[in-house]
Amino acid sequence: MSFWHSCSRTWNIAAIAAAAAIFAQPLGAAAEDLTTFQLTAKNGRFSPETIEAPAGKKFRIVIKNEGSTPEEFESIELRKETVLAPGVTRTVVFAPMKPGTYQFFGDFHPDTAKGQLIVK
């Protein structure tokens, strides 16, 4: 490998690392600024059953399964789903949404684990 090729490769790696560091900070800071809602799954139910979120803003829902059986957060309208084993916590991030009411349910307890996300 020639001297210039070696220098060029070293410079490229350094440039990529520097760019990654620069772009990672704003993304990390933005994640910290997200409005966060807590949702608990337990005994075949979600609590709270209604979450009100701001329209036009990115937000997240932190879902914790406090039950002794698995549960799934699912919404066909929202195109979101995640399975949670007992004791597991997961975060679901939502892009800015239009106002409306969106239903969600627990696939393991579809008759009782129901809720709605109201975006306004």
How many of the other CB atoms lie within 10 Å of CB of 81? 14
Return the pLDDT at 7: 52
28 pLDDT exceeds 90? no
The DSSP result for 27-70, as a single string, is HHHHHHTSEEEEEEEETTEEESSEEEE-TTS-EEEEEEE-SSS-
pLDDT tens digits, 54-98: 999 999 999 999 999 999 999 999 999 999 999 999 999 999 999
Exposure string (b/e) for 95-111, b if CB count within 10 Å is 16 or more? eebeeeebebbbebbee
| Mean of pLDDT values over 42-65 | 97
